[in-house]
Structures are given as C-alpha cells and as structure tokens.
Amino acid sequence: AQSVAQPEDQVNVAEGNPLTVKCTYSVSGNPYLFWYVQYPNRGLQFLLKYITGDNLVKGSYGFEAEFNKSQTSFHLKKPSALVSDSALYFCAVRALAGGATNKLIFGTGTLLAVQP
C-alpha cells in the first residue's frame, strides 16, 4: 500500500536558520513527489515536485527538496527561514503503478513555526 510519513507534527526554527521538514514514502514503482503549503483556512499551495531527473528540486519561495531513492525520502529544506514561512506543510506522493495511479496520497502534515 502506498503511504507517506511526516514524522514530525511540528518543527520549530529561529528566523534566519536553516529548516528541514522530513518526509518518507512507500510506493510501488516510481513516485511523483510533491510538497504543498497551507495557511490557516486556506487551500493548499504547490511548492515543488519531483518527477524525474535531478534529485535536488528547487521550488517556490526559496524552498528545495532532495529526492533520495535509497532512503525513500523527500525532505523539504530552506537555507534561511522567514517568519512568514510559518504554516502547515504537506508531503504527497502519486504512485505510477499498483492500482492507485490517479491519487495523491498526503502525509499528516508538519506545522512549521519560525520564531523571530
């Protein structure tokens, strides 16, 4: 069965420090991987995706993520956090095989809190 795990409910970081939000996945076949951000009472905004190619993917607002096939991980990173980055972050995977090819499977979300 396909699944996504975000092991941290919350990540706290000081403004200006680097941040990492962790994500691991389990799928049959090659995955499409995504990161979304959600602000309070809003829908999800797309940040970045990995489909194929370079393992390091750069996305919106200075975020990047590294696809690691051997560790089945897709951690979200940013070199220098801003207070405005504080939000709920979701990792998602779309399987290319195994019967669930049409669905995005979401992790449980990680609340990022950036302190000034």
Partner 1 sequence: GAVVSQHPSRVICKSGTSVKIECRSLDFQATTMFWYRQFPKQSLMLMATSNEGSKATYEQGVEKDKFLINHASLTLSTLTVTSAHPEDSSFYICSARGLAGGLYEQYFGPGTRLTVT
Q: Evaluate whether 44 touches 106 at the Cβ level (below 8 Å).
A: no
The SS3 call for residue 42 is: coil
- Least distance (Å) between residue 39 CB and partner 1: 10
Residues 75-94 that bind partner 1 (CB under 8 A): 90, 94
Residues 31-60 that bind partner 1 (CB under 8 A): 32, 34, 36, 41-46, 49, 51
- From residue 27, alpha-carbon distances to 14, 31, 39 in Å are 34, 7, 28
- Least distance (Å) between residue 30 CB and partner 1: 12
- Least distance (Å) between residue 70 CB and partner 1: 23
